[in-house]
Amino acid sequence: GGSMRQKIYPDPHPQGVWDASNYGYIFIHIVNSEMYREITGLDPPATPIEAKTYTACGLPWFDLYDEELGDVPAAEILEEVKSIAGQDKEKGIAATGESLTIPETQIRKLRPED
């Protein structure tokens, strides 16, 4: 669990800069560990490190100061997307997990030009 903020910045270049005829497609398949093993013949990657362990090891967290770049509004259809926590709340399922306080000394403040 956790939260992530994402922004899509307005394009600073005029539309004519881009070659609209030069593009490609990519297909992404999300699979469980059993299917991953069947498709690749490999064991799936290890579970990601928990935030609590990451913080306890003194590893850096990052905060990006990018307010001046603006943000493209979400497509209307995405306004209806709810987080797992939001869906659980609607169903009356109590939140699990604990809040994590990250020491200021572990937060690296970045600007887009960094």
Q: Which tens digit of pLDDT belongs to each residue from 68-88?
A: 888 888 888 888 888 888 888
pLDDT at 36: 94
pLDDT(104) > 60: yes
d(Cα 58, Cα 70) in Å, to the nearest integer?
A: 32
pLDDT at 65: 83
* H or E segment to which residue 87 belongs: helix 84-91
Q: 109 vs 6, which has greater pLDDT?
A: 109
**Backbone phi and psi for residue 90, each to the nearest 5 degrees, phi listed first:** -60, -35
Q: Region 35-54: what's the mean pLDDT?
A: 91
pLDDT(23) > 60: yes
pLDDT at 17: 92
Asked if 70 and 10 count as a contact pair (C-beta separation under 8 A), the reply is: yes
Nearest Cα neighbor of 11 from 98, 52, 69 is: 69
Q: Region 21-43: what's the mean pLDDT?
A: 94
pLDDT at 2: 56
